[in-house]
């Protein structure tokens, strides 16, 4: 209904100038006490809200941060956002959230849209289908700081925050071996993700350390769709020697895979054991949850990423690329 009051109106009402109003509101030392009070009082009375668009135009700052990640519906990411948001909120920033749905094109479009919007910075967890990083280079050429988290790309000059997946995988496999299992499969994610590499690295390292045999048939890569998980699980179970344990890319893969196992008559935590990444809260509701989980602390990752980004925005001069590794933790049930 009523349009927002502006400085101009305050100035007119007070018979002064816009610049004086502006300075009064900012507590500028050169404005008289009396005038300051009159301005502030009227501003309050009129319910004056500074127009942040105009401020942005002037100051080239938005206090908006873009967040691009695959799916909000994955608890890992919604927890990460919560961590990010807590820091942003505290520092007066707002979050523009976009889901890429693991789709490269959509990710690219979102980035373009965020550039156009003029965000002060961006936090990204890259889509699994992203094979090309030119859109990130575009951000760099626009001078917009980026921080990658979880699904990072290390070859770019931007900071990243991620879990020590390889160590997590290593510990998980070692744990399974300590429980007497040797036939351990890896239901890994797509090879485009560094996180998949790291899981593989840790997996192999643990097997080697304990002189367990590495069976290429036990290593599968899924595209993170339910269908593919189902398919690959069947492949594993159809082997002459089905695995005794499965290290899954994350809990969603584990859950889908476990379901197939049950359907095919394999008793979870008896005939076949699961370990997965990112310990979702709802796993605790399962009667037969994965025997262990590598907790990755998404909330902390988000916090860390946001802090780094804000520092990069507010003190661009002292920017140095950082690689923060969040220690993961094997949670045994």
Partner DNA sequence: GTTGGCTGTGCAAACGGTTGCGCAAATTCA
Partner DNA sequence: TGAATTTGCGCAACCGTTTGCACAGCCAAC
The answer to whether 44 contacts DNA (rule: CB under 7 A) is no
The answer to whether 20 contacts DNA (rule: CB under 7 A) is yes
Selected binder of DNA within 12, 45, 59, 321 (CB under 7 A): 59
Nearer to a copy of itself, 50 or 190 (CB): 50
Count of residues near DNA by CB under 7 A: 32
Selected binder of a copy of itself within 94, 183, 205, 311 (CB under 8 A): 94
Tokens standing for 173? Answer: 């496999």
Partner from DNA, a copy of itself, none contacting 94, C-beta within 5 to 8 A by type: a copy of itself
The answer to whether 320 contacts a copy of itself (rule: CB under 8 A) is no
The answer to whether 40 contacts a copy of itself (rule: CB under 8 A) is no
Nearest-angstrom CA–CA distance, 233 and 302: 32
Nearer to DNA, 53 or 213 (CB): 53
The answer to whether 4 contacts DNA (rule: CB under 7 A) is yes
Nearer to a copy of itself, 142 or 270 (CB): 142
- Least distance to DNA, CB of residue 113, Å: 15
Give the closest residue to 250 by CA, choosing from 106, 125, 68, 112: 125
**Residues between 181 and 210 with contacts to a copy of itself, criterion CB under 8 A:** none
- Least distance to a copy of itself, CB of residue 142, Å: 6
The answer to whether 138 contacts a copy of itself (rule: CB under 8 A) is yes
**Residues between 23 and 42 with contacts to DNA, criterion CB under 7 A:** 23, 25-26, 28, 30-35
């Amino acid at each position: 209904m009523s349009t927002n009051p502006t400085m101009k109106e305050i100035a007119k009402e007070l018979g002064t100038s816009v610049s004086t109003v502006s300075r009064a509101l900012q507590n500028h030392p050169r404005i008289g006490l009396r005038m300051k009070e009159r301005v502030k009082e009227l501003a309050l009375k009129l319910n004056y809200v500074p127009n942040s668009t105009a401020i942005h135009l002037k100051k080239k700052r938005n206090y908006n941060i873009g967040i691009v990640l695959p799916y909000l519906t994955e608890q890992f990411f919604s927890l990460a956002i919560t961590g990010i948001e807590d820091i942003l909120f505290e520092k007066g920033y707002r979050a523009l959230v976009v889901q890429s749905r693991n789709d490269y094109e959509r990710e690219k479009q979102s980035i373009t849209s965020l550039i156009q919007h003029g965000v002060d910075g961006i936090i990204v967890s890259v889509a699994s289908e992203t094979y090309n990083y030119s859109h990130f280079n575009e951000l760099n050429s626009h001078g917009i700081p980026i921080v990658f988290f979880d699904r990072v790309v290390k070859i770019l000059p931007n900071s990243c925050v991620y879990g020590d997946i390889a160590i997590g995988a290593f510990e998980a496999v070692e744990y399974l071996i300590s429980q007497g299992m040797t036939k351990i499969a890896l239901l890994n994610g797509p090879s485009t993700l560094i996180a998949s590499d790291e899981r593989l690295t840790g997996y192999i390292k643990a097997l080697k350390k304990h002189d367990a045999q590495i069976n290429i048939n036990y290593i599968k890569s899924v595209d993170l769709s339910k269908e593919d998980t189902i398919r690959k699980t069947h492949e594993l179970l159809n082997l002459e020697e089905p695995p005794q344990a499965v290290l899954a890319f994350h809990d969603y893969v584990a859950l889908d895979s476990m379901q197939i196992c049950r359907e095919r008559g394999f008793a979870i935590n008896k005939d076949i054991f699961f370990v997965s990444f990112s310990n979702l809260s709802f796993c605790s509701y399962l009667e037969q949850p994965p025997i262990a989980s590598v907790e990755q602390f998404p909330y902390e990752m988000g916090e860390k990423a946001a802090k780094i980004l804000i520092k990069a925005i507010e003190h661009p001069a002292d920017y140095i690329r950082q690689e923060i590794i969040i220690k993961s933790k094997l949670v045994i049930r």
